[in-house]
């Protein structure tokens, strides 16, 4: 069973006044078949956790470890992490002018699968995945995310998830900027990805609305750069009702 273990993770970021510690000892274990939701106020470090796991150079890991099936993720380059089975859906997906979605997706799949997908089967696979996400087929020849709406960018992120099938998906506020219909479609895509029980999801969000579509096994409250409380799906309802004040006051 695949396992992602985050142990006593400390992360700093450079500021004009010097290095500022954002993560202050994060401990979290995600196993295949589990969906973990991290909820917390702005500035608590949720997105820092996502980008530190993925290997963003802005974030400096000063302590702790991240292990994927026992292998040290922090010793891997960004592309090695992706090939090992990590996936990050970004809160603000970037545009890649001049690179078509079709070329981008096939190149990514080739890197992860370690061989180029057979073209005939690949075209069928992509068309089916795009149809399930209500993505217009013409988008395949458009530059990655260029001129896409916020919802279209998020659907493209989940399209990558569907085609690459990583061991663990980190979804950083995938629900932000989505209308009701786009939220439903994106959530259904995430649910299809996790349906086989062999993958794990770390879902970062402010609100419970996406959790009405994607039921988490565990909910963690993030405040002051660490996890301060954990529980089942019912904890999200408590946070929706009471907010984060009691956590931020003591963080």
SS3 172: strand
Q: Which strands sit side by side in the sheet containing 200-205, from one edge to the other?
A: 86-89, 168-172, 200-205, 35-39, 218-223, 226-231
Q: Where are the alpha helices (DSSP H) in 56-172?
A: 78-84, 101-113, 119-132, 150-164
Phi, psi of 47 (to 5 degrees): -70, -30
Residue carrying structure tokens 């919802």:
151
Reading phi first (left if > 0) and then psi (alpha if -120 to 50, else beta), residue 186 is in: alpha
How would you classify the pairing of strands 71-72 and 59-68?
Answer: antiparallel
Q: What is the pLDDT of residue 89?
A: 94
Q: CA-CA distance, 129 to 66, in Å (whole number)?
A: 31
Q: What is the pLDDT of residue 251?
A: 58
Question: In a 10 Å sphere around its CB, with 0-12 CB exposed, 13-18 middle and 19+ buried, how is residue 67 labelled?
Answer: middle
Q: Look at residue 250 in the predicted model and tell me its pLDDT.
A: 62
Q: Are 172 and 88 in contact (CB under 8 A)?
A: yes
Written as tens digits, the pLDDT of the chain (251 aa) is 899 999 999 999 988 888 999 999 999 999 999 999 999 988 899 999 999 999 999 999 999 999 999 999 999 999 999 999 999 998 888 889 999 999 999 999 999 988 999 988 999 999 999 999 999 999 999 999 999 988 899 999 999 999 999 999 999 999 988 999 999 999 999 999 999 899 999 999 988 999 999 999 999 999 999 999 999 999 999 999 998 988 886 65
Look at residue 42 in the predicted model and tell me its pLDDT: 86
Domains of the chain by range and CATH?
3-248 (3.40.50.300)
In angstroms, rounded to a whole number, what is the distance separating the alpha carbons of residues 210 and 18?
Answer: 37
């Amino acid at each position: 069973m695949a396992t992602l273990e985050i142990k006593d993770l400390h992360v700093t970021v450079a500021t004009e006044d010097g290095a500022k510690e954002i993560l202050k000892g994060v401990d979290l274990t995600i196993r295949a078949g589990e969906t973990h939701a991290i909820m917390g106020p702005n500035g608590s470090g949720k997105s820092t956790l996502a980008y530190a796991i993925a290997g963003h150079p802005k974030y400096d890991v000063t302590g702790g470890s991240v292990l994927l099936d026992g292998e040290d993720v922090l010793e891997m380059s960004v592309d090695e992490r992706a090939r090992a089975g990590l996936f990050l859906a970004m809160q603000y997906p970037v545009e890649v002018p001049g690179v078509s979605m079709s070329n981008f997706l096939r190149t990514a799949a080739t890197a992860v699968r370690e061989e180029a997908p057979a073209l005939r089967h690949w075209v069928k696979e992509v068309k089916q995945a795009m149809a399930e996400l209500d993505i217009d087929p013409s988008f395949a020849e458009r530059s990655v995310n260029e001129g896409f709406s916020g919802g279209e960018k998020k659907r493209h992120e989940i399209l990558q998830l569907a085609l690459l099938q990583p061991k663990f998906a980190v979804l950083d506020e995938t629900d932000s900027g989505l209308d009701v219909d786009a939220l439903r479609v994106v959530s259904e895509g995430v649910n299809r990805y996790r349906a086989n029980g062999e993958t794990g999801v770390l879902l970062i969000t402010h609100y419970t609305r996406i959790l009405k579509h994607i039921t988490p096994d565990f909910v963690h409250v993030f405040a002051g750069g660490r996890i301060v409380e954990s529980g089942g799906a019912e904890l999200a309802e408590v946070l929706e009702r009471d907010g984060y004040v009691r956590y931020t006051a003591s963080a």
